[in-house]
């Protein structure tokens, strides 16, 4: 609206300070991540975890939990192994348990790694800036299959075209 220069009375002030209190919000906390302690590199394992709503209000779905593998335990650079969708609500103080079969990447023998679970991975639930506890993890040791033939049993000589019987034991 054109006021022709009469704008000095366009700003006012409330007689009292207005107090604003944040609304209650959910707080999803990932915990109790349980992979097997040792697994075969490149194999399939089942990862279990729990999520608790430690907030003051219920969480309305949907949201997604991601499962990662990381050699140094940090989320940055981790390999996404899979995801589990959650469609239902989770009341304040309640928890749910989830599991997911995942295929591990092929890595070196004896490498220590961590399975990480990130709940609400796509930030679909408003948690009033309390997302720092959405990540939890547990250690896993990766082994490689290393088969070898032991105790070889074979004849000491043979003639070309003869049939041979060879025996051996396979150990890891």
Q: Over 90: is that where the pLDDT of 148 sits? A: no
CA dihedral (159, 160, 163, 166) positive or negative: positive
Q: What are phi and psi of 30, to 5 degrees?
A: -80, 140
Greater pLDDT, 5 or 52: 52
pLDDT at 133: 96
What is the biggest distance separating any 2 CA atoms in the chain, rounded to whole angstroms?
A: 116
Q: 143 forms bridges with which residues in the sheet?
A: 40
Confidence of residue 111 (pLDDT cuts 50, 70, 90): low
Q: Over 70: is that where the pLDDT of 85 sits? A: yes
- List, for residues 86-102, the tens digit of each pLDDT value: 999 999 999 999 999 99
Q: Cα Rg for the chain, rounded, in angstroms?
A: 29
CA dihedral (123, 129, 132, 133) positive or negative: negative
**Lowest pLDDT segment from 31-40, 99-108, 140-149:** 140-149
Structure tokens that stand for 97 in this block:
């348990």
Q: Over 80: is that where the pLDDT of 70 sits? A: yes
Q: Over 90: is that where the pLDDT of 123 sits? A: yes
pLDDT at 108: 67
Greater pLDDT, 73 or 128: 128
**3-state DSSP helix/strand/coil percent for the chain, to nearest 5?**
0, 45, 55
pLDDT at 15: 82
- Rounded to 5°, the CA angle 101-106-112 comes to 85
């Amino acid at each position: 609206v054109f006021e022709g220069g009469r704008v000095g009375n366009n700003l006012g002030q409330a007689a009292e300070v207005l107090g604003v209190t944040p609304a209650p919000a959910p707080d999803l906390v990932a915990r109790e991540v349980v992979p097997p302690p040792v697994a075969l590199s490149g194999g399939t394992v089942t990862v279990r975890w729990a999520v608790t709503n430690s907030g003051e209000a219920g969480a309305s779905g949907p949201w997604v939990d991601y499962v990662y593998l990381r050699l140094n335990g940090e989320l940055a650079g981790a390999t996404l192994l899979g995801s589990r969708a959650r469609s239902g609500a989770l009341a304040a103080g309640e928890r749910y348990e989830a599991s997911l079969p995942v295929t591990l990447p092929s890595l070196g023998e004896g490498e220590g790694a961590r399975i990480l679970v990130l709940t609400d991975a796509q930030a679909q639930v408003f948690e009033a800036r309390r997302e720092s506890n959405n990540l939890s993890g547990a250690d896993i040791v990766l082994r490689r299959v290393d088969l070898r033939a032991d105790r070889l049993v074979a004849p000491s000589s043979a003639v070309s075209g003869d049939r041979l019987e060879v025996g051996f034991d396979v150990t890891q």
